[in-house]
Amino acid sequence: MQQKNIFSAVLILAFSLILFSCSKGGNTPTPEPAVVPVVSVQDMSQPITATNTTMQFYVNTNKSTTIDVSIDYSFSDGTAISPKDYVAKSGTITIPAGKTQATIDVPISGDPTNLRRINPQFSLQLSNPKFCTISTSIATGTILTEDGTYLPTDNSGYSTPTSYPGYTLAWSDEFSASSLDLAVWNQEIGNNNGWGNNELEYYTNSLKNVFLSNGNLIIEARKESMSGFNYSSGRMTTQNKKNFKFGRIDIRAKLPVAKGMWPALWMLGANINSVGWPACGEMDIMELIGTYPSRVSGTMHWKNASGAHASKGSNYSLSSGDYSQQFHVFSMVWAQDLIKCYVDDQLYLTVTSADAGANYPFNADQFFLFNVAVGGDWPGPPDATTVFPQRMFVDYVRVFL
């Protein structure tokens, strides 16, 4: 009888404890899901816009569960700085029962100028998972600014006048429009077997590689995969649109000088399609090899009497600094049987018809070519010191007759 009474007392005590727990609002712990889901987050990128916007990150589980799962998150600066480029924040995100995805929105600052710069990046960090585990805890947010159309540059350096005694300005491009004048300029596309020099770039007609900004033509070389090549760049000509013969030519430009870069401002004979190169004549007003950042070359090329390639050229070196730091003016004074090349009005090359003899090709029409080559037989390839993008700025080209 005593054992029965004890058993009854225990039952009454247990029932009383249950009633007491309920009366105090006690909760039964949420059970762990039978199979714990795995959470991941992925990198995101989007182009910058003129006004503020948001970037959305997706947080996913590999399976849904019967209970909510949650994860803490926080954003941190990389090359993107909060609040200049984006607005960092932190918090907790919940993926509801029966769902496999939730999103985190982060504010992105707008840029009405559309400034071209290296894409800024920031990081999203996941931590402290509840009722789940994390497989990918860090994601990168990339704000795409590398295709911006505004790119100012310091305008200091040498300049030349818009008139000379005895000359009349016959044609110029000051590159002050909003886009390239396609009535004058062609944009060549491709690699064309290395353009005869084993060059490494693929030329495009994209605004990524050739655009106008702030009164300058900009040709930009990038390190990127493009049609089987590792670099992209721009090459433009006036072939079949505008030819020139004699006069004074001034081209004001600032040059890329890194290893493997080969910017050039030059001309080819308008009859190249019928007589070929070098019989058509090539007039290199300026070439720079990145290995020698303070030196440019001017060279005339032709076909000699035996049918072989011949040339005459010279170099001009700055007394201090290099050609990327300021604008310089590369000029050619071109007359019947005579060519003179200058840097900042300093003569450094003279070529006459006597140098080439009967095959002298430079008393005939020529057209312009502006390009930035990457690699090739002369400069060799870029190396670890070459930081992309690399750019040539051209302020103006003027032809006086």
Model pLDDT for residues 95-119, shown as the tens digit of each residue: 999 999 999 999 999 999 999 999 9
Statement to judge: residues 130 and 193 lie in one domain: no
Task: For residue 14, tell me if it sits in a domain.
Answer: no
User: Residue 8: what pLDDT?
Assistant: 47
User: Residue 29: what pLDDT?
Assistant: 55
Statement to judge: residues 345 and 239 lie in one domain: yes
Task: For residue 3, tell me if it sits in a domain.
Answer: no
Q: For the full predicted model, state whether its pTM sits above 0.85.
A: yes
Statement to judge: residues 117 and 180 lie in one domain: no
Statement to judge: residues 132 and 182 lie in one domain: no
Statement to judge: residues 123 and 271 lie in one domain: no
Statement to judge: residues 201 and 336 lie in one domain: yes
Statement to judge: residues 99 and 184 lie in one domain: no
> How far is residue 56's CA from residue 307's CA, in Å, rounded to a whole number?
65
| Percent of the chain residues past pLDDT 70, beyond the cut | 92
Active site (annotated) includes residue 287:
yes
> How far is residue 282's CA from residue 299's CA, in Å, rounded to a whole number?
8
Q: 199, 201, 220, 287: which is the annotated catalytic residue?
A: 287
Statement to judge: residues 181 and 46 lie in one domain: no
Q: 199, 201, 220, 282: which is the annotated catalytic residue?
A: 282
Statement to judge: residues 184 and 129 lie in one domain: no
Active site (annotated) includes residue 188:
no
Task: For residue 74, tell me if it sits in a domain.
Answer: yes
| Mean local confidence (pLDDT), 323-334 | 98
Q: Which of 110-114, 190-194, 256-260 has the lowest mean pLDDT?
A: 190-194
Residue whose C-alpha is closest to residue 397's, from 265, 283, 203, 219? 265
Statement to judge: residues 295 and 381 lie in one domain: yes
Statement to judge: residues 138 and 191 lie in one domain: no
Give the structural domain span for 80. 38-144
User: Residue 35: what pLDDT?
Assistant: 78
